[in-house]
Amino acid sequence: MLPSSFPMEKTTKAIFIVNLITFLISISYEGIFSVLPFYLSTVLGVSMFVIGIIEGGYDLISNFVKIFSGYWSDFLNKKYILLTGALVSLLSKFYFIFGKKWGDILIATSLEAISEGIQTPVNDTILSSGKKKKLGRIFGINRAFENVGAVVGISVAFIYTMFFMTDFSYRTYFSIFLIPVLLSIIAILFIPVEKPKKRPYSIPIVSWEAFFPRYIIIFFLFALIDYGYSFYVLKAYNQINNEALTILAYLAFTIIIGIASLIAGKYFDKLGERKFLQIVSLFFFLSHFFMILFPVAGFIIFAFADAFLDIGIWATIGKKTKFRKGFVFGTYHFTVGFASLISGMVAGYIWDNINADAPFILGSVVSILLFFIIRKHF
């Protein structure tokens, strides 16, 4: 049964639990991935190109899985889909804990990507079952939960790197994040799920028009200039030249992105997607422009760009899609993920072979082009 057919009180409960799960998974994700660029570059000695492949590959795998997860979430028990994703995340932690080579970390991030890919379309489908006029706010609140969790995870990373890194290993550090994953598994068990109603047909056919092709193209282009966080973190690190202080800057970034998500949700409902996406393109231009001159300032502005884009994509799709939501959400996640792989590889290559400013010069140019494309064609 689709969440839209829940009684309102069950829908509200399901949305709340999804927010709680988002919070817990975000603690685990950000706690690990906020130190991962340093671990890969300083301990394992991998190049920026490899880091770009790992980050882009994460997004590609995650979003490829989301197609299938979204497709089957329209028919299968959503609680068990979410539980499967959480168990895969639990498995990934053991590769982080016991891995010794960058190939082990690649397996760990791939498993984490599969976990996210399994869970995200189900979460988005449940969230989109709320009131249509408030979808921007609903997704904004969910992203705020995500970023509060990120603040907790990054705070742990900051405290660890500031005070304990000389006494404890990365293995000990990664072990900490088994706890929020286990708590998320418990939370999943409380999601209300009813038995599906019988349909006159087993799997309805979905036409290409149901995916809103214009939006697939524009969100693909946005994802091409939304580089993995490692590029922004390491560019800021070049200016700060201190690992703990860079993580502190990342913590400030995460707090701001949570606030920006709430603001974005409010203004999406007021402005509509066309004006809203124009604002997104301007945020990307400003963030990339400042990443060239003042990386820390650009990193902070990027918090608004990333938050506004996130709300712009998923609130737009949630608002427009009335049929096979899980499948449509999954397809959009794959589109964004495929673009992220290309983005990570290109950004990593031109960083290594030109300079660290090159990806952000490219992003500045493309963001201006996106502004005029949206203005003319949307």
**CA 18, CA 15: separation in Å to the nearest integer?**
5
Strand, helix or coil at 66? helix
Tens digits of per-residue pLDDT, 158-173? Answer: 888 777 655 557 788 8
User: Would 115 be classed as within a structural domain?
Assistant: yes
Residue 193 region, left (φ>0) first, then alpha (ψ -120 to 50), else beta?
beta
Question: What confidence category does residue 209 fall into, taking pLDDT thresholds of 50, 70 and 90?
Answer: low
User: Would 201 be classed as within a structural domain?
Assistant: no
Q: Is the pLDDT of residue 178 over 90?
A: yes
Tens digits of per-residue pLDDT, 57-115? Answer: 787 788 788 888 877 777 777 788 999 999 999 999 998 888 778 788 888 999 999 99
Question: What confidence category does residue 22 fall into, taking pLDDT thresholds of 50, 70 and 90?
Answer: very high
**CA 3, CA 362: separation in Å to the nearest integer?**
41
User: Would 105 be classed as within a structural domain?
Assistant: yes
Angle value at C-alpha 14, between 11 and 19, nearest 5 degrees: 125
Tens digits of per-residue pLDDT, 103-148? Answer: 888 889 999 999 998 998 888 888 877 666 677 788 888 888 988 8
Domain holding 53, by residue range, is 3-194+212-377
User: Would 347 be classed as within a structural domain?
Assistant: yes
Q: Is the pLDDT of residue 283 over 60?
A: yes
Backbone angles phi, psi at 169, to 5 degrees: -90, 170
User: Would 53 be classed as within a structural domain?
Assistant: yes
User: Would 204 be classed as within a structural domain?
Assistant: no
What pTM was estimated for this model as a whole? 0.68
Q: Supply 62's token pair.
A: 């995650």
Question: DSSP letter at 211?
Answer: G
Residue 282 sits in a domain whose CATH number is 1.20.1250.20
Number of domain units in the chain: 1
User: Would 190 be classed as within a structural domain?
Assistant: yes
Residue 210, judged by CB atoms within 10 A of its CB (0-12, 13-18, 19+), counts as middle
CB 66 within 8 A of CB 329: yes
Q: How far apart are the first and last CA of the chain?
A: 34
Percent of the chain with pLDDT over 90: 28
User: Would 324 be classed as within a structural domain?
Assistant: yes
